[in-house]
């Protein structure tokens, strides 16, 4: 299972805390993590193995969306900051739209991500 991990800058600390709280799950051999560049760097510093794409504004969201279309992503956890301005909002919307098109589970906040964790 491949899980994409993404977080806006204002939510990166919350994402890292969430992942650290569930490290045992995310370190299982059958789970692979992929992340946008900056989020991935934060996860690496937290001790997790993660494949990093470019940062979101540099095309990382689009790279993850491409893999999603290819059937290589099973789930997306994207802690969005609904109050911040994001120069790559078009890419974010595209990624979320493709999750709907390809029926990929998408959690955009802590509560939804917890439901995902409970199902794993």
How does residue 27 score in pLDDT terms, banded at 50, 70 and 90?
confident
pLDDT number for residue 33: 95
Q: Of residues 61, 74, 81, 100, which has the active-site annotation?
A: 61
Q: pLDDT digit string (tens) for 42-54?
A: 999 988 899 999 9
Q: Is the pLDDT of residue 56 over 80?
A: yes
pLDDT at 83: 81
Tens digits of residue pLDDT in 61-117? 999 999 999 999 999 999 998 887 777 778 889 999 999 999 999 999 999 999 998
Using CA atoms, how far residue 91 sits from 44, 45, 49, 81, in Å, is 24, 26, 25, 15
CA angle 104, 97, 8 (to 5 degrees): 90
Q: Chain centroid to CA 10: how far?
A: 14
Provide the domain count of the chain. Answer: 1
User: Which pLDDT value is given to residue 18?
Assistant: 95
Give me the CATH number covering residue 74: 3.40.50.1380
- For residue 41, what are its two tokens? 């760097």
pTM, full prediction: 0.92
pLDDT of residue 47: 87
Q: Which domain holds residue 51?
A: 2-119
Is 91 in the active site? Answer: no
Mean pLDDT for 7-26 is 91
User: Residue 92: its pLDDT value, please?
Assistant: 87
């Amino acid at each position: 299972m491949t899980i994409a991990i993404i977080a806006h800058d204002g939510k990166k600390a919350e994402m890292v805390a969430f992942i650290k709280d569930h490290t045992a799950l995310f370190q299982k051999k059958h789970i692979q993590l992929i992340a946008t560049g900056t989020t991935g760097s934060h996860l690496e510093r937290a001790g997790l193995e993660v494949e990093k794409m470019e940062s979101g504004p540099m095309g990382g969201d689009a790279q993850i969306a491409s893999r999603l279309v290819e059937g290589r992503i099973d789930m997306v956890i994207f802690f969005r900051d609904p109050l911040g301005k994001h120069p790559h909002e078009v890419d974010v919307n595209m990624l979320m739209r493709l999750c709907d098109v390809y029926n990929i589970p998408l959690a955009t906040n802590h509560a939804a991500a917890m439901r995902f964790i409970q199902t794993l």
